[in-house]
Amino acid sequence: MSSLVFFKLLAIFVIVAIGWIVGKLRWLSPADAESGAQADPARVLANAAYYIFVPALLFRTTARIDFHAMPWDTLIAVFVPLVLMLLGVYVVIKRRNRAGTLPPAAPAVRAITAAFGNTVQVGIPMAAALFGERGLQIHLAIVSLHALVLLTLSTALVELDLAKAQRVLGGEAPHLAKTLLGTARNTVIHPVVLPVLIGLTWNALGLPIPTVADEILATLGQAVVPLCLVLIGMSLAYYGVQGAARAALGLSALKLLVLPAVVLLIAHWGFHLNGLPLTVIVMMAALPIGSNALIFAQRYRTLEGEVTAATVFSTLAFVAVAPGWLVVLGWLQR
């Protein structure tokens, strides 16, 4: 592993540690003067990210995508297995949860955790250090659609499950048309999906983003990375890993081992991808769990401790797993 990637990982751990210290010392958790109850700043930060900073980043990204320059064959080869992985984990967890022991949002939360990688904080320096400018261009093309595809799909799945659960709790028989209509409305009017749709429309109309607006959006978008890393540390302090370690290790294994294997099999033998494009997308799939998975879990108040632990575990394990995948790819393409 290159020194650039190593120091980027070290910086991530330090920022997460700062968040953990802040959470452990309750610096942002003043007790209510009347009830004595502690506030939950981790949830407040998650809401700030979800409603302000992430939408700004997603709108600006989608509004500026140059679709004509995208390597579509490579993108299809990576997003097909990514989507299959997300849907596969979702279906398995949903079937295991027939007794209702987990919250309704749990299948979608675990699915996005197993599929969503840290493509920016870790992925960009890794691609730049290992693959040069050409590899970085491929990686950035994936990054431009990564959140759009996975977050939108996960949002549709979780909103469908929540709509069904709400009707059952309300004593209503699940009506397919009403459930789908409610799901569609909640999916579109959503702090992740709506800015993406607006951004794509803006892009399709060929409208430029005014300079001042672009500067505002860029500044807001820059807050996503440090805010999410601090949030991981704070969530670790608030929720801990007790009772969540086993599931977190399983999600980490899915993300670091199973997902890149699925991408390799489908992209290489299914889409006949070879060389640098294959190496870039497999290493992208092997990235540790991204912080957007935690924001998603916080949004639906489901398995926050488990997702936090999985994010930390996978980031630690990536140091050992990444060289292994590079060896496999080198052997395969000799």
Q: Write down the pLDDT at residue 86.
A: 97
Tell whether the model's pLDDT for residue 122 goes beyond 70: yes
In which band, very low, low, confident or very high, does the pLDDT at 180 lie, cut at 50, 70 and 90?
Answer: low
Tell whether the model's pLDDT for residue 167 goes beyond 90: no
Q: Which residue did the predictor score with more confidence, 60 or 111?
A: 111
The H or E element containing residue 20 is: helix 3-24
**Highest mean pLDDT range out of 61-65, 165-169, 293-297?**
293-297
CA 234: distance to chain centroid? 18
In which band, very low, low, confident or very high, does the pLDDT at 233 lie, cut at 50, 70 and 90?
Answer: confident
Tell whether the model's pLDDT for residue 175 goes beyond 70: no
Rounded Cα distance between 85 and 88, Å, is 5
Tell whether the model's pLDDT for residue 265 goes beyond 80: yes
Q: Write down the pLDDT at residue 38.
A: 57
Phi, psi angles (nearest 5°) of residue 99: -75, -10
- Where do the structural domains in the chain lie, given as residue ranges? 3-26+40-254+288-322
What average pLDDT does range 70-79 have in this prediction? Answer: 93
- 266-280 tens-digit pLDDT: 999 999 999 999 999
DSSP 254-317: IIIIIHHHHHHIIIIIIS---HHHHHHHHHHHTSPBPTHHHHHHHHTT-SHHHHHHHHHHHHHH
What average pLDDT does range 231-259 have in this prediction? Answer: 86
Rounded Cα distance between 32 and 285, Å, is 44
3-26+40-254+288-322: CATH topology is Na+/H+ antiporter like fold (1.20.1530)
**Highest mean pLDDT range out of 58-62, 108-112, 216-220?**
108-112
What average pLDDT does range 73-101 have in this prediction? Answer: 94
- Is the pTM above the cut of 0.75? yes
Which of 32-46, 79-93, 122-136, 219-233 comes out lowest in average pLDDT?
A: 32-46
Residue 156 tokens read as: 């549709």
Q: What distances in angstroms separate CA 20 from CA 120, 231, 240, 281, one per listed residue? A: 21, 8, 10, 32
What average pLDDT does range 137-161 have in this prediction? Answer: 87
Tell whether the model's pLDDT for residue 33 goes beyond 60: no
Tell whether the model's pLDDT for residue 89 goes beyond 80: yes
Q: Write down the pLDDT at residue 35.
A: 46
Tell whether the model's pLDDT for residue 259 goes beyond 80: yes
What average pLDDT does range 211-229 have in this prediction? Answer: 88
Tell whether the model's pLDDT for residue 300 goes beyond 50: yes
Number of H helices, E strands in the chain: 15, 0
Which of 87-101, 104-118, 193-207, 227-241 comes out lowest in average pLDDT?
A: 227-241
The three-state secondary structure class of 324 is helix
In which band, very low, low, confident or very high, does the pLDDT at 179 lie, cut at 50, 70 and 90?
Answer: low
